[in-house]
């Protein structure tokens, strides 16, 4: 898979792209992730990318030209263009599964007050990562990239995402490691028993119990 991220702040991605699982996925050539500063596409002599909004109001608005040119330059037949915006479709695990099947994603990060409405016509999909407003689409595009890349075959063990929270609209079951007794808090006996069927049953019950208590809305979707 290829992921191109359009941003005015490519340095924000340095840590994210160069650590841990996302770094290893790139080293293993399972994904190619590139950031592109769309200021480089500005035709303005001062490389301007934003201006005051027509009709007044506060803040600067991203102009269509640099973003249109950048997308047109990067676009392939297979590309899915995604705009990061709080007005987009709420991002869910199922959206991550859907996007993990794609061959090429182009993520557009807005910034400042907003972007010119005509930029919307470039997008196949608009995504919001939650009902709050961030200073830009950079963190949302990292959230989307992270959750999609870990689902690409070979990035992590398949079993680990089959047990993920939100898989089948259930929260994950509790897990424990050493020691068996930590400050009086003990690992449930069944996990030490080696009895696989009982462990499986315990986990299913815990998963359901947890979802009922914390996210009953998920159970309604099942
Ligand atoms: N840009 C600013 N806030 C955002 C959000 N919540 N989701 C996606 N993009 C955004």
Could you read off the pLDDT of 132-159 as tens digits, one per residue?
999 999 999 999 999 999 999 999 988 7
**Residue 9's pLDDT band (boundaries 50, 70, 90)?**
very high
The catalytic residue positions are 86, 113, 150, 164
CA distances in angstroms from 1 to 25, 67, 165, listed in the order given = 10, 22, 24
Q: Is 132 in the pocket of ligand 1 (CB under 6 A)?
A: yes
Q: In the chain, pLDDT over 90 holds for what percent of residues?
A: 91
Determine if ligand 1 sits within 6 Å of the CB of residue 141: no
**Residue 201 CB contacts under 8 Å (≥ 6 apart), including other chains:** none
Location of structure tokens 């030209």 = 65
CA of 209 to the centre of ligand 1 (A): 32
**Does a cis peptide bond (omega within 30 degrees of 0) precede residue 179?**
yes
Cα of 59 from ligand 1 centre, angstroms? 17
Nearest 5°: the CA angle 2, 86, 15 is 45
Using pLDDT thresholds of 50, 70 and 90, give the confidence band for residue 17: very high
Check residue 36 and give its pLDDT: 98
- pLDDT tens for residues 92-109? 999 999 999 999 999 999
Q: Regarding the domain delimited by 2-156, which CATH topology (the fold level of the hierarchy) does it fall under?
A: Alpha/beta knot (3.40.1280)
SS3 64: helix
For the chain, which residues make up each domain, given as ranges?
2-156, 163-219
Please identify, in words, the CATH class of the domain defined by 163-219: mainly alpha
Nearest by Cα to 68 from 106, 26, 32, 35: 106
Assess whether the previous peptide bond of 210 is cis (omega < 30° from 0).
Answer: no
pTM of the model: 0.95
Whether the predicted pLDDT of 58 surpasses 90: no
222 pLDDT band, cuts 50/70/90, is confident
pLDDT at 162: 76
pLDDT, position 167: 83
């Amino acid at each position: 898979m290829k992921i191109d991220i359009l941003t005015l702040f490519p340095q924000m991605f340095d840590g994210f792209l160069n650590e841990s699982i996302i770094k290893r996925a790139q080293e293993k050539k399972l994904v190619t992730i590139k950031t592109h500063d769309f200021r480089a596409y500005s035709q303005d002599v001062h490389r301007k990318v934003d201006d005051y909004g027509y009709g007044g109001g506060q803040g600067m608005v991203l102009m269509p030209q640099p973003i249109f040119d950048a997308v047109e330059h990067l676009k392939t037949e297979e590309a899915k263009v995604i705009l990061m915006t709080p007005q987009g479709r709420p991002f869910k695990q199922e959206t991550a599964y859907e996007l993990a099947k794609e061959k090429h994603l182009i993520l557009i990060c807005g910034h400042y007050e907003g972007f010119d409405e005509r930029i919307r016509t470039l997008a196949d999909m608009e995504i919001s990562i939650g009902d709050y407003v961030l200073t830009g689409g950079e963190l949302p595009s990292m959230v989307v990239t992270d959750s999609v890349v870990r689902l690409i075959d070979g990035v992590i063990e398949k079993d680990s995402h089959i047990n993920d929270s939100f898989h089948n609209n259930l929260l994950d079951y509790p897990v424990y490691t050493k020691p068996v007794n930590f400050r009086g808090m003990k690992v449930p006996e069944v996990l030490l028993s080696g009895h696989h069927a009982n462990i499986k049953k315990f986990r299913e019950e815990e998963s359901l119990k947890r979802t009922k208590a914390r996210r009953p809305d998920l159970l309604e979707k099942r």
